[in-house]
Structures are given as C-alpha cells and as structure tokens.
Amino acid sequence: MIWRVRGLIVLILMAGCGKDAAAPAPSSPPAPPVALALDAGIDAGPTTDGDNALISAGAEPRQRLAYRFQQGAKVALAIETELERTLPTGEGPLPTMKTEFETEVMAVAADGIGTLRSTVTKVGTVERAGATVDETHVARQAALLQGAVITFRVAPDGTVSDSAITLAARDVTPAMLDEAKAALEPFTRTGKLPTEPVGVGAKWRRTTIESPGGVQIANRAEYEVTAIVGTQVTYRLTATFGGAEHQTVHGPGIAIDVTNIRGAGTGTGTFDLATATTIGEYSQKLELDMTAAGEKATAMLRSGYRAYGLQSAP
C-alpha cells in the first residue's frame, strides 16, 4: 500500500472558493489524460502516468524484488491519519482517524498473481487539540467504512487489477460510495516494483497521475532501499506533486479554476513482499490556488500517516 492524494483533493474541491460555493459533481468525468509538467528545477520534461524508472541498482548482492504470496497468509494493521487544512470554508486540524483492517491472501494463481482481501474491522477517531470538524460527519464516515471489504489482485511486479469495494453499510448513495472509494483506495495500492535486480542503496522513481474530482495531479515518488531482510524491504521515500498550469472543474452552477498545484512529502517504511502491506510513517503538504465566482483563494492540506502492525491475525 502506498499513500495517495485523492482524498485530499476531493476535500479541497468540496470546500469550493466560498461558503456558498457548490461542490463539483462526484460523477463529473475527469479530463482526458495528458502529460503534466512538475515544478521547474525538480525535473525537466513532462510527466506521464505509469513511469517507473530505475535510478541506481544499489550494492551487491542484488535480487529481483517480486511479491511472493502464500495462500492463507494474514496480517492485521492499523493506520492513523492526521489532517490539517486551510480552506475557504475553515481551517485547523481534524481529529485523528484510526482505521484497523486485516489483509488475507485468498488465492495464488500459477503465474504468481495473488487475490487479496482487506477487511476494515474498526474505525474510530482520537481527539486532537484545536480540532475543528463536524462530529456528525466523522461519525457518518466511520459508519460508512466499518466492515467494508476490498478485494484486488496483485501481480508479482506489483501491478494491481480487478479491485472492488463492498460496503456493509445500508442505503448507500452514489455520493457516499464515491467518498468510501476515496478513503479505501490506498488499501489496493501496492506500488510497482523495478524489473531489474536491486540491492541496498537502490533508487527508483515511480510516477502516477490521478484525477480526483476531475483535477489531474502528478505524483512523482522516489524510493531508496535501506535494507532487505527476507520478504521485508525497508525504504526512504520523497515525493513531489505538480499539475498542469490551468485546469477547470465544474459543479452544479459553478466552475472552479485550479492553478499552481504544488507540494512534497517524505516518509520511511517497510513493505512486505508476502502480503503486499506496508508499515511506516509518511507526511505531505499539498497546496493549490482556486478561483470561483470571482473569488480567489489558496487551499492547503497537511497530512500525516502512521501504519503499524496489530496483534497477529489468527
């Protein structure tokens, strides 16, 4: 699993550019994929989705990193998420959200592709000093995610396919389903591995482009391997966010112009080649400028994530 920006962008766009601004329609189709340029000085040239380039192979001995699943393997983890935002509709920290889940390898095909199932077993919040949020919304989101099941297939190189989300909650509207998908999507993201053999000190760069709320965001992440022990690969991570110079998203009765997307993130962690799960810590800051109905504002979201193991799954 790797950290994503989808939920943060959706939150920004829902804020609009004023208290009366309407949110973009959840069903609005994203703009066609295009090459996005990151900030000058970080990297020259365009960014295209799916780039995965080896920078350095690292020290000997080297090995080909690949997911090696065993049917029946289980792991129980928790993720704590902290958000702090400056938006047109308000600012300040939100309560810490804690999500516990269990991932199990359900089947392994002859070609090594694993079918995995992640089940959300518990969702709750931890109060933070100065937190400003509608507690009703927090309770609704927790109830929405409780008992959710995510199934997906992972190839040995980390390619994910056939992901599906089933909610235990009843009377789920399309908007609620979109919200749940944004929150649960990271559970299906493993990160594609380099195809060349690597050792300690290896570096590779992974680029992805997402279109949350219709805004295209380029995320260029650079991984550096610091240790390989059995199926455990420990790494350092730095990330940079960028986007096209100008994008427009539409909601009911309003158009929001989005410009100057920028941000960065850092983290450390360990991913397990036996279960496609990750523990570690990551923090990022994302900013963008928005103009709507003649009002211009800068939105900022600072987020922190901590994933750790719980008592071993039975």
Summarize pLDDT for 236-291 with one digit per residue, the tens.
Answer: 999 999 888 888 888 778 888 989 999 999 999 999 999 999 999 999 999 989 88
Beta pairing partners, 52: 206
Question: Would you say residue 1 lies in a domain?
Answer: no
Q: Identify the CA nearest to 102 among candidates 79, 118, 80.
A: 118
In angstroms and rounded to an integer, the radius of gyration of the C-alpha atoms of the chain is: 20
Q: What is the pLDDT of residues 191-238, one digit of tens each?
A: 789 999 999 999 999 888 877 667 888 888 999 999 999 999 999 999
pLDDT at 94: 76
What's the whole-number mean pLDDT along residues 2-24? 45
Q: What is the mean pLDDT of residues 104-114?
A: 97
* Predicted local distance difference test score (pLDDT) of residue 43: 45
pTM of the entire predicted model: 0.81
Q: Which of 30-44, 84-98, 235-249 has the highest mean pLDDT?
A: 235-249
Residue 160: inside a domain, yes or no? yes
Flag whether 310 is in a domain.
no
- Residue 13 structural domain: 6-305
**Average confidence (pLDDT) over 107-127:** 92
**Residue 1 confidence class, pLDDT cut points 50, 70, 90:** very low
What is the number of structural domains in the chain?
A: 1
> Which two structure tokens, joined as six digits, stand for 252?
């009911």
User: What are the residues facing 228 on neighbouring strands?
Assistant: 233
Report phi then psi at 178, rounded to 5.
Answer: -60, -40
Grade residue 48 by pLDDT with cuts at 50, 70 and 90: low
Residues in contact with 235: Cβ distance below 8 Å, sequence separation at least 6, in sequence order: 223, 224, 225, 226, 268, 269, 270, 271
Is 298 a domain residue? Answer: yes
Q: Report the chain's mean pLDDT, rounded to a whole number.
A: 80
Q: Is 91 within a domain? A: yes
Q: Within 10 Å of residue 246's Cβ, how many Cβ atoms?
A: 10
| Most trustworthy range by pLDDT among 131-135, 181-185, 197-201, 291-295 | 197-201
* Strand positions, DSSP E, 173-276: 203-210, 217-229, 232-242, 246-251, 254-272
CB 259 within 8 A of CB 288: yes
Residue 253 within a domain: yes
CATH number for the domain spanning 132: value is 2.30.230
296 domain-assigned: yes
Distance of CA 199 to the CA centre of its chain: 26
129: exposed, middle or buried (C-beta count within 10 Å: 0-12, 13-18, 19+)? exposed
**Secondary structure element (H or E) that encloses residue 305, with its range:** strand 295-309
In a domain, 275, yes or no: yes
